[in-house]
Amino acid sequence: MAKRKYNNIIILLIFAAYVIYYGTFLTKSGFEYSEFINVAALIVIAFISILLLGFRRDKLTATKKSILGMTITEVLLFFAASFGLGLVTGFLRNSYPLDFISICKNVCIPIVYLVGIEVFRYTTLNANNDKKPIIIMTTILITILELTMNLNGAMMYDFETIFKTTSAIIIPTIIKNASLSYLAIYGGLKPVLFYRLIMDTYSYILPIVPDLGDYINSVIGILLPTVIYMNTARIIEEDLDSKGKEEVKTTGIKIGDIVMVAVIAILVGLISGRFTFGLIGIGSESMSPNIEKGDSVLYMKVKNENDLKEGDILVFNSGNKIIIHRLVEIKKDGNKTYFITKGDANNTNDSLNLTIDNIRGKVLFKIKYLSYPTLLLKELVDKG
């Protein structure tokens, strides 16, 4: 037992060391073969985890068979729904070459990576399925690695970009890995590999993909793994004996699960800026003390000049930046209407003559401290 405990610590330290190495050196080295090094390293780590912890044979019990069938069904429904939406939103032609040799080259590295990372997850979690700290640490480390890979080279120069990156990449990656860890423990390796091999490689193979946009892709990236998690919990509760049911009731579907998904979906929708209402973080002190750095504001889009009056706080574009300042003057010049703005903490008006085309909307109210996490993320990125 003591030996197994030390083996757990060793494999987690090895993986943590590699995550640090990948994030601090490999992603920034520009080395031509960094992808191959990454894949090779993960295969070695997966092999070490098998040596240290053993590999429990993934027996296809009735429960696991139900979970596998459910996972296959949900993924197929995802494709049906995505391509159905594509009939409305349109399709994009795949930018990857689609001859047989090119497809093999394009999918080879992702497939080997996915097998390595999921064998490591399955081996570690199933050797410790009663040890929550190990499960949590394994999931966190895999999530950090995948976020580092996905965010490599991402330009987060303003709060809008950070919010969109959070909704399109960070939140879906966290939820996906939490759900996959749950699925690996109760469903085994097969449904996890099926999910990942399909969801992470289809874009290399299909000639066209639905043009769904960041918002819908983000919602799907959140909802699909969450639905699979909920259905896995339902199957476990239905299939296990009474003792097992008592043990897993705390992991079943709760109202809180549904509320959490709904809140996240709403937040992603607000952040996307594609609807009447939007949410954006404040990254400066120019509106202090009324709106402080680290707050967020909910705004409503406006299309009519008559909807604006002096004193309104506007959200507008200035080059590549989004600015939130107060409307202090409305000027008429023939048929043109110009809007003059000023930050409450600034001494002079902005040197901009805004038109209605520059204005995204007007602020309805502020939410204190909501954007502090993204503010910290931006500062970390800037320091890096």
Q: What is the pLDDT of residues 68-85, one digit of tens each?
A: 999 999 888 888 888 777
What angle is formed at CA 310 by the lines to CA 306 and CA 312, rounded to 5 degrees? 85
- Which is more confidently placed, 362 or 239? 362
Say which range, 169-183, 263-277, 305-319, has the weakest mean pLDDT: 263-277
- pLDDT (mean) for 253-257: 47
Find residue 209's DSSP bridge partners: 92
Strand order in the sheet with 296-301: 277-281, 296-301, 359-367, 313-318, 321-333, 336-342
C-alpha distance from residue 353 to each of 313, 316, 322, 330, 361 (Å): 15, 11, 15, 10, 16
- pLDDT (mean) for 192-214: 84
Find residue 280's DSSP bridge partners: 297
pLDDT at position 47 is: 94
pLDDT at position 141 is: 92
pLDDT of residue 239 exceeding 50? yes
- Least Cα distance to 367 among 286, 299, 268 occurs for 299
pLDDT at position 249 is: 42
- pLDDT (mean) for 199-218: 79
Which amino acid is residue 318, in one-letter code? S
pLDDT at position 63 is: 86
pLDDT at position 40 is: 92
What are the structural domains, with CATH classification, of the chain? 2-272 (no CATH), 278-373 (2.10.109.10)
* pTM to 2 decimal places: 0.65
Chain centroid to Cα 217, Å, comes to 10
pLDDT at position 245 is: 46
Chain centroid to Cα 166, Å, comes to 6
- pLDDT (mean) for 35-40: 88
* H or E element, residue 108: helix 100-126
Find residue 92's DSSP bridge partners: 209
Q: Give Cβ neighbours of residue 315 (< 8 Å, ≥ 6 apart).
A: 278, 280, 297, 299, 322, 323, 324, 359, 360, 361, 362, 363
Termini Cα distance of the chain: 42
The model's pLDDT over 140-162, given as tens digits with 9 standing for 90+, comes to: 999 989 888 887 655 554 555 66
Nearest-angstrom CA–CA distance, 3 and 9: 10
- pLDDT (mean) for 115-125: 94
- pLDDT (mean) for 327-338: 90
pLDDT of residue 203 exceeding 90? no
Chain centroid to Cα 182, Å, comes to 18
Which amino acid is residue 333, in one-letter code? D
Q: At what angle do helices 100-126 and 189-199 cross, to 10 degrees?
A: 150
**With left for phi above 0 and alpha for psi between -120 and 50, is residue 290 left, alpha or beta?**
alpha
Question: Do residues 183 and 192 touch, judged by C-beta distance below 8 A?
Answer: yes
ω into 373 cis (within 30 of 0): no
Mean of all residue pLDDT scores within the chain: 80
pLDDT at position 152 is: 66
pLDDT at position 337 is: 92
pLDDT of residue 320 exceeding 80? no
Nearest-angstrom CA–CA distance, 53 and 124: 7
Nearest-angstrom CA–CA distance, 194 and 170: 22
pLDDT > 70 fraction of the chain, expressed in percent and rounded = 79
Q: Per-residue confidence at 221, pLDDT binned at 50, 70, 90?
A: confident
Q: Which two tokens stand for residue 70?
A: 């459910």
- pLDDT (mean) for 117-138: 87
CA dihedral 181, 186, 188, 194 (to 10 degrees): -70
- Which is more confidently placed, 287 or 259? 287
Within 13 Å and on the Cβ side, how many CA atoms surround 27? Answer: 18
- pLDDT (mean) for 312-319: 88
- pLDDT (mean) for 157-180: 76
- Which is more confidently placed, 358 or 268? 358
Question: Do residues 268 and 218 touch, judged by C-beta distance below 8 A?
Answer: yes
| Range from 41-50, 100-109, 120-129 that averages highest in pLDDT | 41-50
- Least Cα distance to 86 among 206, 177, 195 occurs for 206
Say which range, 40-44, 108-112, 209-213, 297-301, has the weakest mean pLDDT: 209-213
